[in-house]
Amino acid sequence: MTPRYDEGSIKTLDWQEHIRKRPGMYIGKLGDGTASDDGIYVLLKEVVDNSIDEFMMGFGKKIDVTVSNEIVSIRDYGRGIPLGKLKDVASKMNTGAKYDSEVFKKSVGLNGVGIKAVNALSSTFNIKAFREGEVKEIIFSMGEVVEEKEVTTTDQPNGTEVSFVPDGDIFRNYRFRSDFVENMMKNYSFLNAGLTIYCNGERYQSKNGLKDLLEENIDSDSLYPVIHLKGEDIEVALTHGNQYGEDYYSFVNGQHTTQGGTHLVAFREALVKTIREFYKKDFDPSDIRASIIAAISIKVEEPVFESQTKTKLGSRDIGPDGPSVRNHVVNFVQKELDNYLHKNADVAEVLLRRIQESERERKAISGIKKLAKQRAKKVSLHNRKLRDCRVHFNSNSEKKTESCIFITEGDSASGSITKSRDVNTQAVFSLKGKPLNTYGLTKKVVYENEEFNLLQAALNIEESMDDLRYNRVIIATDADVDGMHIRLLLITFFLQFFPEVVKKGHLYILQTPLFRVRNKKKTFYCYTDEERVSAIAECGKTAEITRFKGLGEISPDEFKNFIGPDIRLEPVLMKKHESVSQMLEFYMGKNTPERQEFIIDNLYVEKDEV
pLDDT value at position 95? 54
pLDDT value at position 595? 66
Answer yes or no: are the C-beta atoms of 545 and 523 closer than 8 Å. Answer: no
Residues 314 and 448 placed together within one structural domain of the fold: no
Q: Which of 150, 182, 204 is the last residue of a domain?
A: 204
When divided into structural domains, the chain yields a total of 4
Residues 129 and 251 placed together within one structural domain of the fold: no
Give tens-digit pLDDT for 395-448.
Answer: 877 788 889 999 998 777 788 888 889 999 999 999 887 888 888 888 888 888
Q: Which of 164, 182, 204 is the last residue of a domain?
A: 204
Alpha-carbon span 418 to 423, nearest angstrom: 8
Statement: residue 259 has pLDDT above 60: yes
Alpha-carbon span 114 to 308, nearest angstrom: 8
Alpha-carbon span 47 to 52, nearest angstrom: 9
* Choice among 95-104, 240-249, 264-273 with the minimum mean pLDDT: 95-104
Determine, yes or no, domain membership for 583.
no
What is the per-residue DSSP string for 372-396?
HHHHHHHHTHHHHTEE--S--TTSS
Give tens-digit pLDDT for 276-308.
Answer: 999 999 999 999 999 899 999 998 877 776 765
Question: Is residue 54 classed exposed, middle or buried when 0-12, 13-18 and 19+ CB atoms within 10 A define those classes?
Answer: buried
Statement: residue 64 has pLDDT above 90: yes
Alpha-carbon span 375 to 453, nearest angstrom: 9
CATH number at residue 90: 3.30.565.10
pLDDT value at position 252? 87
Determine, yes or no, domain membership for 39.
yes
Determine, yes or no, domain membership for 94.
yes
Q: Which of 146, 175, 204 is the last residue of a domain?
A: 204
What is the gyration radius of the CA atoms in the chain, in angstroms?
Answer: 26
Residue range(s) defining the domain that contains residue 331: 210-362
Answer yes or no: are the C-beta atoms of 89 and 12 closer than 8 Å. Answer: no
Residue 242 pLDDT level (bands cut at 50, 70, 90) = confident
Determine, yes or no, domain membership for 6.
no
Statement: residue 225 has pLDDT above 60: yes
The secondary structure element, H or E, covering residue 569 is strand 568-571
Residues 73 and 196 placed together within one structural domain of the fold: yes
Residues 555 and 448 placed together within one structural domain of the fold: yes
Task: Please name which of 291, 22, 294, 20 lies closest in space to residue 140, comparing C-alpha atoms.
Answer: 20
Burial of 68-78, coded b for 16+ CB within 10 Å and e otherwise, reads eeeebebbbbb
Alpha-carbon span 10 to 429, nearest angstrom: 44
Answer yes or no: are the C-beta atoms of 186 and 216 closer than 8 Å. Answer: yes
Determine, yes or no, domain membership for 368.
no
Specify which residues 137 forms β-bridges with: 128
Percentage above 70 pLDDT, the chain: 85
pLDDT value at position 607? 34
pLDDT value at position 104? 41
Residues 570 and 437 placed together within one structural domain of the fold: yes
- Amino acid identity for residue 538 in this structure: E
Determine, yes or no, domain membership for 1.
no
305: helix, coil or strand? strand
Q: How far is CA 18 from CA 125, 168, 305, 593, in A?
A: 17, 18, 21, 60
Alpha-carbon span 514 to 525, nearest angstrom: 8
Residues 70 and 87 placed together within one structural domain of the fold: yes
Task: Please name which of 257, 253, 248, 262 lies closest in space to residue 307, comparing C-alpha atoms.
Answer: 257
Residues 81 and 218 placed together within one structural domain of the fold: no
pLDDT value at position 186? 93
Average pLDDT over residues 455-469: 86
Determine, yes or no, domain membership for 186.
yes
- pTM: predicted TM-score of the whole model, two decimal places: 0.76
Statement: residue 103 has pLDDT above 60: no
Answer yes or no: are the C-beta atoms of 20 and 119 closer than 8 Å. Answer: no
Residues 434 and 330 placed together within one structural domain of the fold: no
pLDDT value at position 277? 95
Determine, yes or no, domain membership for 606.
no
Residues 289 and 300 placed together within one structural domain of the fold: yes
Q: How far is CA 200 from CA 106, 180, 185, 329, 482, in A?
A: 29, 13, 11, 37, 39
Task: Please name which of 503, 361, 352 lies closest in space to residue 441, comparing C-alpha atoms.
Answer: 361
**Crossing angle, helix 178-190 and helix 39-56, to 10 degrees?**
20
CATH number at residue 406: 3.40.50.670
Residues 230 and 341 placed together within one structural domain of the fold: yes
Statement: residue 105 has pLDDT above 60: no
Alpha-carbon span 328 to 268, nearest angstrom: 13
Specify which residues 416 forms β-bridges with: none
Residues 267 and 189 placed together within one structural domain of the fold: no
Q: What letter does residue 217 receive in the DSSP assignment?
A: H
- Cβ contacts of 594 within 8 Å, gap of 6 or more: 586
* Choice among 185-199, 316-330, 339-353 with the minimum mean pLDDT: 316-330
Alpha-carbon span 40 to 24, nearest angstrom: 12
Answer yes or no: are the C-beta atoms of 124 and 165 closer than 8 Å. Answer: yes
Statement: residue 583 has pLDDT above 50: yes
Statement: residue 604 has pLDDT above 60: no
Residues 283 and 356 placed together within one structural domain of the fold: yes
Residue 7 pLDDT level (bands cut at 50, 70, 90) = low
